[in-house]
Amino acid sequence: MTTAPAAGTAERILDVAERLVQTRGYNGFSYADVAAELGITKPSLHYHFASKAELGEALIARYHTRFSAALEAIDAAGGDPGIRLRRYASLYADVLDNQRMCLCGMLAADLETLPGRMQDAVVRFFDSSETWLAAVLDEGKASGALRGDGPSHDQAQMVLSTLEGAMLVARSYHDTERFRAVARRLVSSLLAEPHTG
């Protein structure tokens, strides 16, 4: 009978910690912050996540799972590669709309201070995103919908890096539209030129 409440507490801990990482960074919050917000004791936190590193790993795993599900939903919704790239960029814009940053983007800023397993998990998240983007780009080039400038994996790195960087700059200005404008220009730059004649 205690399993459901325990699972609920663990999820609430993850929810609060995720928001804190997305707004302050991994080094910008402590167990005391999470405990105070939830009205529980630090020993209760340690019961669910023995260390901050363990909590961090759980955060990345949950975020990665949800992001992967969002990419699957984009694929399931169909549409040409340009539409799918726009939907991908919208995932980032939606996070910014909630005054947050990409969890793994924030963790990447703190990378050198993270435990090794967390560092590896952050890289796996980005690798997964680049793999998905490269597949969309390959499909778009094959169909003629997207430009064929260079290897798709290189373009995928550019897309990911541009969007993550655009988030940081837009956050500085408290202006999600600034991000959306960059995302629109980025996707447009990948579209094949309209055929004439």
Q: Is 141 helix (H, G, I), strand (E, B) or coil?
A: helix
Place of tokens 């990409």: 102
Q: What is the pLDDT of residues 101-110, one digit of tens each?
A: 999 999 999 9
Structure confidence at residue 59 (pLDDT): 98
Residue 3 has pLDDT above 80, yes or no: no
Residue 6 has pLDDT above 60, yes or no: no
Confidence category of residue 193, pLDDT binned at 50, 70, 90: confident
Structure confidence at residue 148 (pLDDT): 83
**CA–CA gap between residue 175 and residue 183 (Å, rounded):** 13
Fold (topology level) of 60-190: Tetracycline Repressor; domain 2 (1.10.357)
> Which pTM was predicted?
0.91
Residue-wise DSSP of 14-64: HHHHHHHHHHH-GGG--HHHHHHHHT--HHHHHHH-SSHHHHHHHHHHHHH
**CA–CA gap between residue 27 and residue 141 (Å, rounded):** 42
Residue 5 has pLDDT above 80, yes or no: no
Inter-CA distances, 191 with 20, 87, 141, 194, Å: 37, 15, 9, 9
